[in-house]
Amino acid sequence: MAVPVLTIDGPSGAGKGTVSRLLAKRLGWHYLDSGSIYRSLAIAVLQQNVALDDVAAIVGVAQALVLAFECGDELVVKLNGLDITAQLGLETTGNAASIIAALPEVRAVLLQKQQDFKQLPGLVADGRDMGTVVFPDAAHKVFLTASSIKRAERRYKQLKEKGIDANLMGLAKDIEERDRRDRERATAPLSMASGALFIDSSEITIDAVITQILDFIR
Ligand SMILES: Nc1ncnc2c1ncn2[C@@H]1O[C@H](COP(=O)(O)OP(=O)(O)OP(=O)(O)O)[C@@H](O)[C@H]1O
Ligand SMILES: Nc1ccn([C@@H]2O[C@H](COP(=O)(O)O)[C@@H](O)[C@H]2O)c(=O)n1
């Protein structure tokens, strides 16, 4: 039986994770936060003091990566049995993830780990290349974006709520730099999949985004 897949790609802070988690719950489907895999790898690489340009060593860390995901209201991620959820959302983690995600050898190792999430009754997958590379045959594809200043403001609020110190201008600069790297890399760059529904969430609520996607897939 074919497994229905809904892919939601877009830049950092567009709301992909929030919307995907809520949709997965609503539909009773599995959820893949592919960014958390790249982020977990970045944490493992940094923990082991591997340089971010040492391709062979990073591939070794990727091959040995043992991750467990617990998807409740918040996603809990364990690396080799240890809870790394608190480190996942840090900007340093996101920036390191984006640097190693540009390496084709790393993407090749992580491809199957992501495809393994495709299981009945269905999957909502969020990331940068879900609809273009990882699940090109997905039944439904969405490209979710928002202006970079809105995304920086949302990220700022999110970090402050977690008690993490943040600087709005610094966040905006980091987000733009990460977007540029994700869009311009040679392998699996961030781009809109053909046939995807385009949504700009700058001026609309999370509920409105969810309604548009549910209307699209029904
Ligand atoms: N339409 C919206 N209106 C207001 N706030 C929103 C909207 N969409 C998302 N947010 C808020 O923006 C923040 C970032 O959202 P989220 O983490 O889902 O983005 P993301 O695209 O998954 O980012 P990343 O790719 O970096 O993981 C969250 O605090 C979320 O609640
Ligand atoms: N499918 C994906 C998902 C993520 N990345 C890279 O990881 C970085 C962190 O992702 P978040 O979604 O958690 O912000 C992101 O900037 C990308 O470089 C990816 O390449 N492909």
Q: How confident is the model at residue 74 (pLDDT cuts 50, 70, 90)?
A: confident
Cis peptide before 104 (omega within 30 of 0): no
Residue 60 assigned to a binding site: no
Find residue 9's DSSP bridge partners: 127, 143
Ligand 2: residues with CB < 6 A are 12, 34-35, 38-39, 94, 97-98, 101, 127-129, 178, 182
Q: Hunting for tokens 């990331």 — which residue is that?
A: 127
Which domain range does residue 130 map to? 5-217
Q: Where does the chain have alpha helices with state H? A: 16-27, 34-47, 55-63, 85-88, 91-100, 104-115, 148-161, 168-184, 206-217
Distance in Å, CA 13 to ligand 2 centroid: 11
Number of domains in the chain: 1
Give the number of the ligand closest to the Cα of residue 34: 2
Which residue lies with its CA nearest to atom 5 of ligand 2? 35
What is the atom index within ligand 1 of the atom nearest the CA of 204?
1
User: What pLDDT is stored for residue 78 in this prediction?
Assistant: 96
Whether residue 72 is predicted with pLDDT greater than 90 in this model: the reply is: no
At residue 133, what are phi and psi to the nearest 5 degrees? -125, -50
User: What pLDDT is stored for residue 166 in this prediction?
Assistant: 87
Which residue lies with its CA nearest to atom 8 of ligand 2? 98
Query: What CATH number corresponds to the domain at position 167?
Result: 3.40.50.300
The residue to mutate among 45, 128, 148, having the most atoms of ligand 2 within 8 angstroms of its beta carbon, is 128
Interval 136-192: pLDDT, tens: 999 999 999 999 999 999 999 998 998 888 899 999 999 999 999 999 999 999 999
Q: Where does 101-147 have alpha helices with state H? A: 104-115
Q: Hunting for tokens 């892919």 — which residue is that?
A: 7
User: What pLDDT is stored for residue 75 in this prediction?
Assistant: 82
Distance in Å, CA 49 to ligand 1 centroid: 30
ipTM over 0.95? The verdict is yes
In the predicted model, what is the mean pLDDT of the chain? Answer: 95
Q: How confident is the model at residue 122 (pLDDT cuts 50, 70, 90)?
A: very high
**pTM of model > 0.80:** yes
Identity of the amino acid at 62: A
- State the average pLDDT over residues 13-22: 96
Give the three-class secondary structure for 205: coil
- State the average pLDDT over residues 70-74: 78
